[in-house]
Structure 1
């Protein structure tokens, strides 16, 4: 099936809808009416014979087929953006929007300070930051770059750039540790109230090798900032990244336990869609983040 000029226009409109997460946002970016954008996407779906977007009154999401098409459309638009840069006057000055996703802990510290430095160097590049500890689908949700705290991805459509590792500590508030005997070994945690992130496992390094301790407690959350607050309130012991609680440790609001048994560190990576031609604004963002995060976390 050969793509017509109308198909190329419709694909451009579709890609902007995915990136904006809405018809109205894409319409504003393209200078079209919302109805014109909707009509273009509907015509493209009829032409291809597949549903590209799932529309509800509350949410717009991309189907599996839509995500596959967007990946190709993004490559096409990236080439067009590069051509425009070469012929225009903005080729040496990155500009535009970079959509970034990051977990709560990294966003609280140190991402905010790094983004401030990035803005100073590239004032014409605007960052749209989505902060969430849930797993986000980059292509389906129009994300250019994501900061992730887990091992290597197996998704071939994504590129992973390792930034370093983040030390993890087991800690609790003095009020909790004053009324409960601190654990002397990992398995002592079974007698403690452990505050948990949803889906996490507590693994420790011992002389016998890695040990997974079946911890449990009165609170399971999906937001690391809430987990830190619960630990500060003395609810129990929590497993938290060093950078998030550094000031709490210095000022005595939290104390660490089991320092001799190092939990597995968190691997910090940047993930971004595989593209033959990457927009300049995204490329400088990735390079800047890599440079600064590797200094912070002493990555590879």
Structure 2
């Protein structure tokens, strides 16, 4: 058995979804595909694929092995290309996961220019505030509003910090009163961003003093844009990144409170699988993110 061929066969079978499709993709016979998979399983002494005449699926060991094999083959491909002129030319499909509100308020107007500078590159940008599994879901890169990585094999490039403010509409504060100290928030309708790390408690500091305030509210939502709409409607108050509402604050549509206290901050990172050779498309997008967020910290 040529192990490198067998590994490429295994990866192609998984990604194509069947032995027949893999055979067509690799221009091999179905018998050769099956022989390589069987030889690989015999060498590892483990079953990688469950297959019947109609279906094929990964076993649990097979899924873990596939993730490692895919990374190894990608690294080898990058090593092969690193000596050639194409190494500096971003190309192919770049899949990125990013939080919706951050992207729409900070990046989306600049992305067309990035793509114009790289005509051989296509971008699949998934705007979703949930925390995706980069490797399992096939993303090249994710933008994260947290220092915590779910996998030690991932690396993070710090981009900027989002500075939060407590704010609401003038009408809301006229009705409910302006909080003077963080503890006053217990008597307010707090709109809660359920994907944040401070959904049930907000933390503030002033000098050497730190205050943590449990918050309550009837409205829980997973979108920063929806929170902004609720603030403008006078429904409640929120601890929100200033960047998301800077225009509304300047125009007087929203008013900040507790300005002498420093609330929690959120570090924004570009997160991607740790590889010896970064794909040119990933490197180019990370550099784009660094440039676009350079003046925000």
Q: Scaled by the length of structure 2, what TM-score is found?
A: 0.80
Alpha-carbon distance in structure 2 between the residues aligned to 1:159 and 1:72? 19
Q: CA deviation at 1:259?
A: 0.9
Q: Is 1:77–2:70 an aligned residue pair?
A: no
SS at match of 1:171: strand
**Other-structure match for 2:229:** 229
Q: CA deviation at 1:248?
A: 1.4
Q: Is the contact between residue 105 and residue 244 of structure 1 (CA under 8 Å) also seen in structure 2? A: yes
For structure 2, the 5+ residue unaligned runs are 51-56
Alpha-carbon distance in structure 1 between the residues aligned to 2:93 and 2:12? 17
Q: CA deviation at 1:139?
A: 0.8
For structure 1, the 5+ residue unaligned runs are 54-59
**Other-structure match for 2:135:** 139
**Other-structure match for 2:89:** 93
- Which of these two proteins has the greater Rg computed from alpha carbons? 2
Alpha-carbon distance in structure 1 between the residues aligned to 2:155 and 2:93? 20
Q: CA deviation at 1:204?
A: 0.6
Q: CA deviation at 1:202?
A: 1.1
Q: Is the contact between residue 78 and residue 277 of structure 2 (CA under 8 Å) also seen in structure 1? A: no
SS at match of 1:5: helix
Q: Scaled by the length of structure 1, what TM-score is found?
A: 0.79
Q: CA deviation at 1:286?
A: 1.4
Q: Is the contact between residue 105 and residue 243 of structure 2 (CA under 8 Å) also seen in structure 1? A: yes
Structural RMSD (CA): 3.3
Q: Is the contact between residue 10 and residue 44 of structure 1 (CA under 8 Å) also seen in structure 2? A: no
Instruction: Tell me: CA distance 1:268–1:157, structure 2 relative to 1, closer, same or farther (3 Å).
Output: same
Q: Is 1:291–2:291 an aligned residue pair?
A: yes
Instruction: Tell me: CA distance 1:212–1:51, structure 2 relative to 1, closer, same or farther (3 Å).
Output: farther
Q: Is the contact between residue 93 and residue 121 of structure 2 (CA under 8 Å) also seen in structure 1? A: yes
Instruction: Tell me: CA distance 1:133–1:285, structure 2 relative to 1, closer, same or farther (3 Å).
Output: same
**Other-structure match for 1:149:** 145
**Other-structure match for 1:56:** none
Q: CA deviation at 1:162?
A: 1.0
Q: Is the contact between residue 107 and residue 292 of structure 2 (CA under 8 Å) also seen in structure 1? A: no
**1:166-245 residue pairs with structure 2 within 5 A?**
166-198=162-194, 199-200=197-198, 201-245=201-245
Q: Is 1:162–2:158 an aligned residue pair?
A: yes
Q: CA deviation at 1:77?
A: 2.2
**Other-structure match for 2:257:** 257
Q: CA deviation at 1:183?
A: 0.3
Q: CA deviation at 1:154?
A: 6.3
Q: Is the contact between residue 133 and residue 224 of structure 1 (CA under 8 Å) also seen in structure 2? A: no
Instruction: Tell me: CA distance 1:145–1:52, structure 2 relative to 1, closer, same or farther (3 Å).
Output: farther
Instruction: Tell me: CA distance 1:208–1:97, structure 2 relative to 1, closer, same or farther (3 Å).
Output: same
Q: CA deviation at 1:174?
A: 1.9
Q: CA deviation at 1:262?
A: 1.4
Q: CA deviation at 1:69?
A: 3.0
Q: Is the contact between residue 11 and residue 44 of structure 1 (CA under 8 Å) also seen in structure 2? A: no
Q: Is the contact between residue 170 and residue 254 of structure 2 (CA under 8 Å) also seen in structure 1? A: yes
**Other-structure match for 2:101:** 105
Q: CA deviation at 1:114?
A: 3.3
